């Protein structure tokens, strides 16, 4: 380990906080995002925090941009030790309202972006015997109503991570998957959904969270160091996951009630 990390979606939110947490340990950071101003701001903060590195604009939907980013890591840092596939977008809406374009957009970024990140960087990780950290969501495990395309994309990230965990053991490449619940972030900036009411509901959940992106980044740092595979930063998330494993039907019933309430609320807004 030479302390070199790559992060997608590093221009804001959790990606930025992960960069800052590892920067405080003196790491070299390769930062990518679609927002160049965001990246420059993150790099400035990384240097202030005691780290260093470089930035490169990268859209995770484009595999050639990810392979070019991997080459840049090899040239500028001599390789990579940890990759964080964090870039993601939010969406919501009941299944009947979601278009196939909504599905394509969500899967292309939140699932295939992670697949392509792993694929582009695997040769470097095999050399360094490094680690993969994939950012999924509690939505991957709990499947809340009115989020089917997001739920499916994030569940795919968990399934991919589980597959890589066993496949890459022999190559000594470590794998971790992170499933945060709602937290204070700018995820709403990327939100796409059929109704403004849905965006407002998600906004309330984000704002009411007792935990910040910086808290989550610190928790990830600790659990990765401890070698934990599935990292659940929220205590409520850990409790909900334990409940689902024990009594899934109870959780499905609760989610059904939640879906009914959301529909009623949406109807009331429509008048």
How far is it, in rounded angstroms, from Cα 78 to Cα 56?
A: 16
Contacts of 107 (CB under 8 A, 6+ apart): 149, 152, 153, 156
Is 150 designated active site? yes
How far is it, in rounded angstroms, from Cα 97 to Cα 145?
A: 13
How far is it, in rounded angstroms, from Cα 93 to Cα 70?
A: 35
Q: Which among 150, 219, 221, 252 is annotated as catalytic?
A: 150
How far is it, in rounded angstroms, from Cα 168 to Cα 176?
A: 12
The candidate with the shortest Cα–Cα distance to 85, out of 167, 139, 161, is 161
Active site members:
150
């Amino acid at each position: 380990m030479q302390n070199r990390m790559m992060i997608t979606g590093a221009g804001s939110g959790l990606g930025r906080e992960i960069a800052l947490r590892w920067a405080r340990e003196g790491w070299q950071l390769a930062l990518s995002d679609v927002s160049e101003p965001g990246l420059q701001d993150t790099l400035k903060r990384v240097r202030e925090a005691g780290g260093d590195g470089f930035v490169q604009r990268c859209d995770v939907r484009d595999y050639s941009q990810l392979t070019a980013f991997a080459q840049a890591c090899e040239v500028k840092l001599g390789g990579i030790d940890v990759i964080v596939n964090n870039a993601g977008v939010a969406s919501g809406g009941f299944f009947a309202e979601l278009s196939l374009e909504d599905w394509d957009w969500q899967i292309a970024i939140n699932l295939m972006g992670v697949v392509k990140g792993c694929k582009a960087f695997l040769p470097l990780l095999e050399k360094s015997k490094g680690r993969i950290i994939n950012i999924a969501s509690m939505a991957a495990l709990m499947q809340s109503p009115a989020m089917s395309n997001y739920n499916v994309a994030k569940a795919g990230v968990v399934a991919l991570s589980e597959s890589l965990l066993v496949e890459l053991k022999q190559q000594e490449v470590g794998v971790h998957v992170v499933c945060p619940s709602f937290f204070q972030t700018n995820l709403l900036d990327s939100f796409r959904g059929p109704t403004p009411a849905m965006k407002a509901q998600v906004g309330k959940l984000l704002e009411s969270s007792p935990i910040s992106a910086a808290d989550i980044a610190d928790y990830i740092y600790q659990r990765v160091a401890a070698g934990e595979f599935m990292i659940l930063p929220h205590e409520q998330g850990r409790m909900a996951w334990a409940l689902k494993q024990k009594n899934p039907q109870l959780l499905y019933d609760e989610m059904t009630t939640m879906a009914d309430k959301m529909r009623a609320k949406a109807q009331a807004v429509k008048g």
